[in-house]
Amino acid sequence: MRIETLAVHAGHPIDPATGAVAPPIYLSTTFERQADGSYPQGYNYIRDNNPNRDALEKCLSELEAGVATAAFSSGSAATMSVFQALLPGNHVIAPLDAYSGTSSLLREIFVPWNLSVTFVDMTNPKEVQQAIQPNTRLIWLETPSNPMLKITDIGKIADIAHQANALCVCDNTWATPIGQSPLNNGADLVVHSTTKYLGGHSDVMGGAVITKVEDDFFNTIRKIQKTGGAIASPFDAWLVLRGIQTLPYRMRAHSENALKVATFLSHHSKIEAVHYPGLQQHPGHEIAASQMHLFGGMLSFQVKGGKEAAFAVAAKVKIFTRATSLGGVESLIEHRASIEGPKTKTPENLLRVSIGLEHPDDLIEDLIQALE
Ligand SMILES: Cc1ncc(COP(=O)(O)O)c(C=O)c1O
C-alpha cells in the first residue's frame, strides 16, 4: 500500500464492538482479569498498554517501515528512552546543531550519568569517523538540522555506525515519514516529536521511537516506556493518529509553500542567507534530493543588519505568529538564538520559520511588508 493509504488506514480498523468508523477513546486505566487469571484481550493496565496507544504504534511502524514502535508523552521522553537504554561508559556521537533540548539532555542529564558524548559536524562523514571510540555505541543524527537546515547523508553515517558496531538513530521530526524514510536508508531507529507535523495542529504533545528490528536494545526502550510510564495518553494517541490521516497531503502543501517562500527570500535585497534544502544553491541540496521525497516546511533566513533587524522583522509580521515549535497548520516565526540561550551557536540575525498551510502569496506579502 502507498503511504497516503497507510496514513488513512494503518491502526484504524472499524470498531468491532460498534461499527464506529472513527476509533473510540479508551480512558479506562484498568481491564478485567478472567477467573483463570488471563487477560484475553491483551490489556491489563494503562501504563503497560492501551488500545489507542497500540493503534498509534501500529500506524507509525507501518509509516516508517519499522517493526515496532514505543509511543511516549513527548519527543523528549522518546529521546531520553534511547539514551537511557545505553549503559554507563558508552559513548555517543551527536550533531553540533542537534535540537537544543536533545543537546541539553545529553550534556546535563546523561553525561553526569556517565555517558560520554562527542558533538561533531554530522554533515562531514570524515569528522564522524574520526570521533569513533572503542566504546561508541550510538550515533544520533537529525536531518534537516535545527535551525540551519544542514543535511546529513543518512546512509553514510549509518555505514560508519555499523562498522563500529554502533546504532544509528535518526530524529525524523522535521522531515516526517512522508518526507524521508531513515530506516530504508540504513538507520536502526527513528525518533519523532509527534507534537509537530504528525499531530499537525499545535494541540497535542507526544513522541515515538520506531525500530527496524525488535532486538534487546528496543526491548529496553519498551521496558523504559512501560515501567517509567512517560506514555502517550489515550486521548493524545488518538489525536496524533487522527493528525496522521492527513499528513501526506499536509506535507506536500507545507513543502510547496516553503519552497515558494524560500525562493522569494533568496531574491530579497535585505536577506543575507536563506537555509532551505529545496533550493538548488543549498550546500546539501544534492544529498537532500537523493534521500528526501519532500523538502519539508521548515526554513530559516538571516536578515542583513544583525539581531535588531531580525527582531524588527519578527515584530512586524501579521500572519506569522511569533512562537516556538513547528509543524502546525499556522505559520510560526522565531528568533532562535534568544530561545536557545547564551551557549547558542545560532547566528543572532537568524529567524526560523515553520511554514503553515496558509496561501503562500499571503505569507510572502506578509514578509514583504515586514522587511520594508
Ligand atoms: C527535532 C526535534 N526533536 C525533538 C524535539 C522535542 O520534542 P517535544 O517538544 O515533543 O518534547 C523537538 C522539539 O522542538 C524537535 O524540534
pLDDT, tens digit, 9 for 90 and up, residues 270-299: 999 999 999 999 999 999 999 999 999 999
Work out whether the CA dihedral 130, 131, 135, 141 comes out positive or negative: negative
Check pocket membership of 173 for ligand 1, CB cut-off 6 A. Answer: yes
What mean pLDDT value characterizes the chain? Answer: 97
The protein residue whose alpha carbon is closest to atom 10 in ligand 1 is: 75
Name the nearest CA neighbour of 15 among 238, 236, 240, 203.
238
Coil, strand or helix at 193: strand
Does the pLDDT of residue 370 top 90, yes or no? yes
For ligand 1, the distance from its centroid to the CA atom of residue 45, given in whole angstroms, is 28
Check pocket membership of 199 for ligand 1, CB cut-off 6 A. Answer: no
Tell me what pLDDT residue 227 has: 98
**CA angle 204–209–213, rounded 5-degree value:** 155
For ligand 1, the distance from its centroid to the CA atom of residue 179, given in whole angstroms, is 17
CA distances from 348 to 309, 326, 343, 365 (A): 10, 20, 12, 24
Tell me what pLDDT residue 110 has: 98
The neighbour count for residue 348, using CB atoms within 10 Å, is: 17
Check pocket membership of 101 for ligand 1, CB cut-off 6 A. Answer: yes
- Burial of 119 (C-beta count, 10 Å sphere; 0-12/13-18/19+): middle
Tell me what pLDDT residue 192 has: 98
Query: Residues 93-113: pLDDT tens digits?
Result: 999 999 999 999 999 999 999
Tell me what pLDDT residue 344 has: 86
Interatomic CA distance for residues 92 and 107, integer angstroms: 11
Strand partners, 138: 92, 167
Task: Look at strands 271-275 and 298-303 and give their pairing.
Answer: antiparallel
Tell me what pLDDT residue 342 has: 84
Q: How confident is the model over 52-78, as a mean pLDDT?
A: 98
Tell me what pLDDT residue 283 has: 98
Query: Residues 350-368: pLDDT tens digits?
Result: 999 999 999 999 999 999 9
Check pocket membership of 207 for ligand 1, CB cut-off 6 A. Answer: yes
Tell me what pLDDT residue 278 has: 98
Q: Which of 99, 145, 202 to mutate to test the pocket of ligand 1 (most atoms within 8 A of CB)?
A: 99
Catalytic residues: 47, 99, 171, 196
pLDDT band at 318 (very low <50, low <70, confident <90, very high): very high
Tell me what pLDDT residue 242 has: 98
Q: How confident is the model over 229-245, as a mean pLDDT?
A: 98
Rg (C-alpha) for the chain, rounded Å, is 21
Tell me what pLDDT residue 343 has: 80
CB-side neighbour CA atoms (13 Å) of 184: 14
Q: How confident is the model over 124-134, as a mean pLDDT?
A: 98
Tell me what pLDDT residue 340 has: 84
Does the pLDDT of residue 38 top 90, yes or no? yes
